[in-house]
Amino acid sequence: MIGVLDYGMGNLRSVEKAFLHLGHEAKVVGDSASVAACSRLVLPGVGNFADGMRLLDERGLREPILKVVASGRPVLGVCMGMQLLMTSSTEDAPSDDAPVPGLGVVPGRVRAFTPTRGGAGSDGRPRLKVPQMGWNALSFGADADDASAPGSPLMAGLDPGAHVYFVHGYYCTPDDPAVTAATADYGGRFCAAFSSQNVHACQFHPEKSQAVGLKILDNFARLPGA
């Protein structure tokens, strides 16, 4: 059974309904016992990183998540859920040198897009709109011109240039570039998805990404378990 974690932040029902539409058993879960019973776990999320971590701790869900990770069962972070899996985030941090701690499952930091990222103003290049809201193309190789096929099982069966739907002002920077499963370009290339052993994540919303997103969720549901 796929557990979609309810910790007070996230579009839980749309993720649950997407799995059900695909014919997979899925259920919203919100306590340690229910999480422990899942064969795989989805950590969704929208909103503020620090609020997300606070709610996970207030509801006693940090350790259950880490136990699922340690067990080898597949885990999927979606949007802010991806970010919470990282070591830390600069969102609402007093400084870049004092970031807000995350779950620390995948080493790396969450950083903010800025309106000038990628150039602006006098060079004639447009300023970025932050947050990024809308469709963007995925790449699986080193750059946008690389037509490599996906290397991660989460992205299996997708074509280079597949479009997915993003809503975010922050992005993940894994310490190990090898875990990056897909990138997108928004004033420069950024990590749009990662796969690290049994832990997978996507910055975009697969449940809002039509056929491409459903393929990703189906891939996750079919990953071998522990």
Residue at 190 is within a domain? yes
Please tell me the predicted confidence (pLDDT) of residue 179: 95
| Nearest to 46, CA basis, from 9, 16, 76 | 9
Q: With left for phi above 0 and alpha for psi between -120 and 50, is residue 220 left, alpha or beta?
A: alpha
Residue at 226 is within a domain? no
Active site positions, annotated: 79, 205, 207
Q: Are strands 100-101 and 86-89 parallel, antiparallel or unpaired?
A: antiparallel
Q: How confident is the model at residue 10 (pLDDT cuts 50, 70, 90)?
A: confident
CATH number at residue 111: 3.40.50.880
CA distance 140 to 150: 5
pTM for the structure as a whole = 0.92
| Nearest to 174, CA basis, from 197, 153, 190, 152 | 190
Of the candidate ranges 59-73, 82-96, 142-156, the one whose mean pLDDT is the lowest: 142-156
Residues whose CB falls within 8 Å of the CB of residue 149, separated by 6 or more in sequence, listed in order:
140, 160
Residue at 60 is within a domain? yes
Residue-range definition of the domain harbouring residue 19: 2-221
Considering only residues 157 and 142, tell me which one the structure prediction assigns the higher pLDDT. Answer: 157
Please tell me the predicted confidence (pLDDT) of residue 124: 54
Write out the H or E segment, with its range, that includes residue 50.
Answer: helix 49-58
The number of CA neighbours under 13 Å toward the Cβ of 7 is: 31
Residue at 64 is within a domain? yes
| Res. 146: pLDDT tops 80 | no
**Domains held by the chain: number:** 1
| Res. 182: pLDDT tops 70 | yes
Residue at 153 is within a domain? yes
Name the average pLDDT for the chain: 91
Residue at 128 is within a domain? yes
Tokens representing 127? 């300023």
